[in-house]
Amino acid sequence: MFPQRLTDGYKSFLNGELPLQRERYEELASKGQHPEIMVIGCGDSRVAPETIFDAGPGEIFVIRNIANLVPPCESDVETSFHGTSAAIEFGVNALEVKHIVVLGHASCGGVKAFADNAPPLTKRNFIGKWMSQIAPVAERLGPPTGDRQSWIRQLEWAVVEHSMENLLTFPTVRERVEQGKLFIHGAYFGVATGVLFMRNPATGTFEPYMDV
């Protein structure tokens, strides 16, 4: 049986949001999508970019995976499937977005599982292999020397920076950034507080976004 929560939500959409946005949906259907912003976020159900940024249909091209990770661009595409890379390729090359925001968040389960060296959920261990990407990030950060929660938060921030760096391994991304046609941003959402932190490109620190 289809989940009742989704049935109720769809009925609400049909009777509320859809009539208000009908012209917008018809325009998107006939003319296609042209978002200027791509957000690469975590699949965590508490961190929905459309909700955080109050975005309507067609405004944000969203990529979500475990721990908002961007893998480095790889030349060998014959032996693996590259969902995140394919979405980046589409957003940058086809949609020509002007901004890419890597959105990390507090209490990230993927980062915590890596930090805790959690046992695999399955024999295939898809999560473990995916999260192994941040091993060099944790190595650069070093082991926790004080409060473990502070260290995990620093690791969550470092993962955002790692994804931002990996974006530049995609030739078209780097080219458009160098041409001033594309801008990469780092952000971090506090789940419990609702506070959004932005990475200051001058200092490399994450600061509460107060320009509202």
Going across the sheet that includes 183-189, the strands are 60-65, 37-42, 99-105, 183-189, 196-199, 206-208
Return the CATH architecture of domain 33-208: 3-Layer(aba) Sandwich (3.40)
Q: What is the pTM of this model?
A: 0.95
pLDDT tens sequence for the chain (212 residues): 999 999 999 999 999 999 999 999 999 999 999 999 999 999 999 999 999 999 999 999 999 999 999 999 987 766 678 999 999 999 999 999 999 999 999 999 999 999 998 999 999 999 999 999 999 999 999 988 888 999 999 999 999 999 999 999 999 999 999 999 999 999 999 999 999 999 999 999 999 997 65
Unique residue bearing structure tokens 């959105």: 103
The full set of domain ranges for the chain reads 1-32, 33-208
**Which amino acid belongs to residue 193?**
T
